[in-house]
Every structure is written in C-alpha cells, then in structure tokens.
C-alpha cells in the first residue's frame, strides 16, 4: 500500500486515474448527502476522515509500496454506505498523499487499492451475510463488524500483492513470503478495531450506522 510515483510504470498510474475518476464522480452523484442535514452525521463523517488520516500515517514497512497500516474501511462502509465511504476514504488517501506518505501521481492507484477495493469488499460481504444468515444482533456484531473487518484488509493485502507482482515490482516469492503473511496479523487488529467501534455505535448511537436497523436486528429477538 501507499505506492510512490516511481514504483509502477506510467501506464499503470494513467489507467488508475481513468478508473478512479468516473468511480469517484459516480459516488459523488449517488451519495446520500441528505444525511448531512443533521450536523451530527456530518461531524461524524468528517471526524472519521481526520482520524483515519492519523491512523494511516502510523505505518510500518521497509520497502516502497510495502507499508502496512490499519484501514477502518469496514466501519466507514457500514456506517455511511459504499458511496460516502468511498468518498471519505479517497479524502483520507489525499490526506496521506499531502503528508508525503504516498506519491501524488500515484494517488488514484492508492485510492483504488485502499478505498475502492476495501469499500467494495466490505459492501459485498455485508450483502452476502444479509442474504445467507439470519438477521440477528450478534451476527451483525461478530460477523459483519468483527469477521468482515479482518476479511476486508486481507482482500486489500491480496490486491496489493497481485498488483505489485503483475507489475513486476517485486518477485512473487518475496511478496507471498515476506509481505502478504503480515496481513494475517494485521487482520486481527483490524477485526478488533472494526468490531469494537461498530459495537459501541450500534449500542449507544445506532442512528450513526446506516446498515443497522433496529426493526431488522432487534425486533422479536
């Protein structure tokens, strides 16, 4: 994650811009901005953006493009839906780019990896769980919040590994032996972060979580 401007070839970065721009415009168009009529929700959204800029700035890594950090994408997606989450995480990517943690030309590629992949996986996992498992409070907490949080960051790690391998930046055996396995450790931390935050939200401020409905998860339980 956190690609630099000289890590991939120019064609990779131009292709990333060609994909990210229409996706971002689509999210801006389809995002439920009416939620921000309540200052409580707009303050929460902006607060999460600022907090995640700080979290993403706390990273570990020894080679360019191989840094590791927590994401918080599952929380953002379940709390605000995929469009506002994608916009918010793109702003987080912009924040770390301006801080010098990632390249400006590589912004779109980083945004697709860190925001696009994570939000897509988080939203699809939520839909899959809703379709396959009964609507129960503990399923939401332990599966949607905890388990899916870990799976989301594992998906981002796999996507990053495949990109760096296909682009021939690092050798496949190095990526699978010295990079991807660390996402297993990071996934435990991400799962706890996602699970604890969402549990606090649904218990004390359920109106903050767009994906949680009292009538679905608590009625007749």
CB count within 10 Å of CB 166 equals 11
Q: In the prediction, which pLDDT does 7 show?
A: 87
Return the structure tokens found at 182. 């660390």
User: What confidence category does residue 213 fall into, taking pLDDT thresholds of 50, 70 and 90?
Assistant: confident
Q: What is the mean pLDDT of the chain?
A: 92
pLDDT in tens, 60-109: 766 877 888 899 999 999 999 999 999 999 999 999 999 887 889 999 99
Return the structure tokens found at 126. 């939520």
**Rounded CA gap, 208 and 203, in Å?**
10
Q: Are 108 and 16 in contact (CB under 8 A)?
A: yes
| Reported CATH class of domain 10-217 | mainly alpha
pLDDT in tens, 119-143: 999 999 999 999 999 988 999 999 9
Q: In the prediction, which pLDDT does 57 show?
A: 87
Q: Are 170 and 47 in contact (CB under 8 A)?
A: no
- Asked whether residue 10 carries a pLDDT value surpassing 70, the answer given is yes
Q: Are 27 and 87 in contact (CB under 8 A)?
A: yes
> Residue 60 pairs with which residues in a beta bridge?
68
pTM greater than 0.85: yes
Return the structure tokens found at 143. 């599966």
Q: In the prediction, which pLDDT does 165 show?
A: 93
Name the strand (E) or helix (H) holding 134.
none
- Asked whether residue 17 carries a pLDDT value surpassing 80, the answer given is yes
Give the closest residue to 212 by CA, choosing from 119, 197, 50, 182: 197
More confident residue, 101 or 168: 168
Mean pLDDT, residues 194-204 taken together:
94
Q: In the prediction, which pLDDT does 62 show?
A: 67
CA dihedral for 220, 126, 197, 140, sign (positive or negative): positive
Q: In the prediction, which pLDDT does 220 show?
A: 58
Q: In the prediction, which pLDDT does 4 show?
A: 85
Q: In the prediction, which pLDDT does 84 show?
A: 97
Return the structure tokens found at 83. 């469009």
User: What confidence category does residue 189 fall into, taking pLDDT thresholds of 50, 70 and 90?
Assistant: very high
Q: In the prediction, which pLDDT does 178 show?
A: 87
- Asked whether residue 221 carries a pLDDT value surpassing 70, the answer given is no
How many residues in the chain? Answer: 221
pLDDT in tens, 139-164: 999 999 999 999 999 999 999 999 99
């Amino acid at each position: 994650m956190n690609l630099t401007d000289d890590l991939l070839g120019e064609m990779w970065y131009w292709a990333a811009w060609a994909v990210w721009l229409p996706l971002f415009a689509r999210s801006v168009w389809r995002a439920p901005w009416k939620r921000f009529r309540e200052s409580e929700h707009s303050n929460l959204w902006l607060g999460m953006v600022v907090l995640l800029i700080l979290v993403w700035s706390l990273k570990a890594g020894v080679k360019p493009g191989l840094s590791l950090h927590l994401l918080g994408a599952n929380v953002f997606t379940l709390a605000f839906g995929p469009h506002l989450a994608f916009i918010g995480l793109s702003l987080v990517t912009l924040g770390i780019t301006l801080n010098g943690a990632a390249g400006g030309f590589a912004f779109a590629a980083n945004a697709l990896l860190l925001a696009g992949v994570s939000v897509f996986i988080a939203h699809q996992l939520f839909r899959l769980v809703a379709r396959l498992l009964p609507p129960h409070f503990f399923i939401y907490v332990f599966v949607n919040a905890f388990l899916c949080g870990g799976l989301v960051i594992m998906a981002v790690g796999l996507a990053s590994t495949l990109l760096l391998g296909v682009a021939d930046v690092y050798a496949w055996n190095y990526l699978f032996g010295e990079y991807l396995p660390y996402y297993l450790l990071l996934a435990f931390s991400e799962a706890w972060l996602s699970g604890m935050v969402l549990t606090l939200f649904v218990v004390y401020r359920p109106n903050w979580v767009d994906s949680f409905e009292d009538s679905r998860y608590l009625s007749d339980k």
